[in-house]
């Protein structure tokens, strides 16, 4: 069975999706039934099945032994965690959800957000207290209607000092206020002597349902009589492939010689969309873009994702026909973002600028409680689903993204005191890319800035998934 899940835009609200449970206790699945689904789903699909002894096909000699095993866990979640292999290093990304509706919405670019994204850094001299810097403001969001701007520093949320241990709960609130602060580097390049002082100003932020177009910026610059395209792309969302193609059509019409692809805040997404983007960059219409390899029981599912001349839903792909691309990355660049770099590097020159990526080469798919583990026929008694790693991605030469991440060719971090305006030539990371183009990719910038210890994506489940659609 192939894992083929269509993620379509879901316009209904979670409360409506739960209506089937109201006053109908008989329809609600028991914990035992859900645990049975968890084990069978992981036994069927899990990439590291061979490394998890409790998932072996011959693990149980009888049904009673199997039931006794399931009863030994107090929840579906604890059972799931028990069969995940090497959680700290090998499999950091397999997840279980109690609400697959919200998961589907997220994969379609629908989230509940205030529209502000942050990077977090340690307060100089502290190993627990942190401060935040606004890195991105989504258009037409709640944040975009406030005075907030990129590069703004804050050190409190709802008048509470932020720490590594409390930041997750502070950000989880539907509404909160950030307390602005003043950052002073004291005229040196050293971090240890930097200071952060309080400000009396606060900005209130409120979350709402948001439909995010991942095409954040598309600009063209003239550099030494050559046209340089800059595309900031923040998620591989299949629902926006047509818009991405339109953007490339607009770039194509402007006689582009160079492309800077900004993936610094892109956590990944659709494998198909990654292959489509690869075709848009190179103009290749055939050949292996990437390969997905499954567990030993599912070797028939091993799949090649090829370059193409057409979109999945029809229509010709607009291409720039480039043999070199400059890619901006950070510690937020993951999965499908890394696939782009790894896969294209087998064919063309890829110059990576920024900081090291996450290091996620595995793909996942949604496993539902149905006879085929697909969405159709899913058990109406619960909203549990699994999002386990099911395949590993390699390029045409069978090279995998290292678990430690992809190292940049040109290292530069966003500077706390100078984030710059995205899409302008003065923005430091874009400026570094333009300088690299002038020097044919050979220019090595002096490392500046410091990498954040956390960012907004750190607290959003599944956001770093590379999913099979």
Whether residue 21 has pLDDT greater than 60 = no
| Boundaries of every domain in the chain | 113-211, 215-459
- The whole-angstrom separation of Cα 258 and Cα 123 is 39
Between 111-120, 153-162, 314-323, 445-454, the lowest mean confidence (pLDDT) is in 445-454
Q: How sure is the predictor about 27, in pLDDT bands with cuts at 50, 70 and 90?
A: low
Angle ∠(326,327,332) on CA atoms, nearest 5 = 165
Helices within 265-389 (DSSP H only) = 271-282, 336-344
Q: How sure is the predictor about 40, in pLDDT bands with cuts at 50, 70 and 90?
A: very high
The SS3 of residue 341 is helix
**Residue 359: alpha-carbon gap to chain centroid:** 12
pLDDT reported for residue 441: 57
Nearest CA among 360, 378, 293 for reference residue 41: 378
What residues does 228 pair with on adjacent strands? 221, 258
pLDDT reported for residue 439: 87
pLDDT reported for residue 468: 76
Where b means 16+ CB within 10 Å and e means fewer, 70-80 reads beebeebbebb
What residues does 260 pair with on adjacent strands? 230, 326
Q: Provide the residue count of the chain.
A: 469
Q: What is the mean pLDDT of residues 161-185?
A: 96
Domains 113-211 and 215-459 share a fold: no
Decide which of 11 and 384 is more confident: 384
pLDDT of 404-453, one tens digit each? Answer: 999 999 999 998 988 999 999 999 999 999 999 998 756 555 456 678 99
Q: How many CB atoms lie within 10 A of CB 437?
A: 22
pLDDT reported for residue 23: 34
Long-range contacts of 19-26 (CB under 8 A, 24+ apart): 20/380
Q: What is the mean pLDDT of residues 448-461?
A: 81
pLDDT reported for residue 445: 53
pLDDT of 238-281, one tens digit each? Answer: 999 999 999 999 999 999 999 999 999 999 999 999 999 999 99
pLDDT of 272-321, one tens digit each? Answer: 999 999 999 999 999 999 999 999 999 999 999 999 999 998 999 999 99
Give the count of alpha carbons within 13 A of 379, CB side only.
Answer: 23
Nearest CA among 261, 274, 288 for reference residue 346: 288
pLDDT reported for residue 459: 81
Task: Using DSSP bridges, classify how beta strands 454-455 and 324-329 pair: parallel, antiparallel or unpaired.
Answer: unpaired
Considering the four listed CATH numbers 3.90.1150.30, 2.30.42.10, 3.30.70.20, 2.40.50.140, the one that applies to the domain covering 113-211 is: 2.30.42.10
Do 393 and 291 contact (CB within 8 A), yes or no? yes
Q: What is the mean pLDDT of residues 160-183?
A: 96
- The whole-angstrom separation of Cα 416 and Cα 151 is 7
**Residue 181: alpha-carbon gap to chain centroid:** 29
pLDDT of 331-388, one tens digit each? Answer: 999 999 999 999 999 999 999 999 999 999 999 999 999 999 999 999 999 999 999 9
Nearest CA among 325, 291, 327, 329 for reference residue 307: 291
Which are the contacts of 11, defined by CB distance < 8 A and separation ≥ 6? none
Task: Using DSSP bridges, classify how beta strands 160-161 and 175-184 pair: parallel, antiparallel or unpaired.
Answer: unpaired
pLDDT of 49-106, one tens digit each? Answer: 999 999 999 999 999 999 999 999 999 999 999 999 999 999 999 999 999 999 888 8
pLDDT reported for residue 429: 95
What are the backbone dihedrals phi and psi of residue 54, each rounded to the nearest 5 degrees, phi first? -75, -5
Q: Which CATH superfamily is domain 215-459 in?
A: 2-enoyl-CoA Hydratase; Chain A, domain 1 (3.90.226.10)
Whether residue 5 has pLDDT greater than 70 = no
Copy the structure tokens of residue 399. Answer: 């090279």
């Amino acid at each position: 069975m192939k894992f083929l899940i269509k993620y379509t835009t879901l316009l209904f609200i979670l409360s409506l999706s739960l209506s089937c449970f109201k006053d109908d206790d008989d329809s609600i699945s028991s914990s035992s039934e859900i645990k049975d689904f968890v084990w069978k789903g992981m036994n069927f699909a899990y990439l590291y099945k061979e490394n998890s002894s409790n998932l072996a096909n011959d693990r149980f000699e009888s049904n009673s032994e199997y039931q006794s095993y399931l009863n030994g866990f107090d929840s579906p979640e604890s059972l799931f965690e028990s069969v995940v292999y090497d959680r700290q290093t090998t499999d950091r990304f397999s997840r279980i959800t109690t609400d697959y509706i919200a998961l589907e919405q997220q994969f379609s670019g629908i989230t509940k957000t205030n529209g502000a994204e942050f990077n977090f850094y340690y307060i100089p001299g502290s190993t627990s207290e942190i401060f935040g810097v606004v890195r991105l403001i989504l258009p037409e969001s709640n944040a975009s209607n406030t005075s907030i701007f990129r590069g703004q520093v804050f050190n409190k949320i709802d008048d509470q000092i932020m720490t590594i241990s409390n930041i997750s709960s502070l950000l989880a609130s539907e509404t909160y206020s950030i307390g602005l602060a003043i950052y002073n580097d004291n005229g040196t390049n050293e971090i240890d002597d930097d200071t952060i002082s309080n400000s009396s100003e606060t900005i209130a932020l409120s979350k709402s349902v948001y439909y995010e177009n991942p095409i954040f910026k598309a600009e063209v610059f003239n550099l030494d009589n050559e046209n340089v395209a800059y595309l900031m792309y923040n998620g591989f969302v299949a629902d926006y492939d047509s818009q991405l193609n339109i953007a490339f059509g607009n770039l194509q019409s402007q006689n582009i010689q160079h492309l800077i692809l900004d993936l610094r805040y892109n956590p990944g997404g659709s494998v198909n969309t990654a292959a489509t983007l690869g075709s848009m960059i190179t103009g290749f219409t055939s050949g292996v873009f990437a390969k997905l390899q499954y567990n030993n029981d599912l070797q028939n599912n091993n799949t090649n994702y090829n370059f193409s001349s057409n979109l999945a839903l029809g229509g010709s792909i607009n291409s720039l026909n480039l043999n070199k691309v400059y890619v901006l990355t950070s510690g937020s660049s993951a999965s499908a973002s890394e696939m782009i770099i790894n896969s294209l590097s087998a064919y063309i020159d890829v110059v990576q600028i920024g900081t090291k990526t996450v290091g996620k080469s595995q793909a996942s798919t949604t496993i539902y409680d149905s006879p085929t583990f697909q969405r159709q026929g899913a058990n109406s008694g619960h909203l549990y689903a699994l999002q386990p790693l099911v395949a590993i991605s390699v390029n045409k030469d069978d090279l995998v993204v290292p678990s430690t991440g992809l190292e940049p060719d040109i290292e530069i971090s966003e500077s706390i005191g100078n984030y710059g305006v995205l899409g302008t030539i003065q923005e430091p990371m874009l400026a570094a890319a333009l300088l690299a183009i002038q020097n044919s990719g050979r220019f090595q910038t002096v490392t500046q800035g410091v990498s954040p210890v956390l960012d907004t994506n750190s607290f959003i489940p599944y956001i770093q998934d590379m999913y099979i659609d």
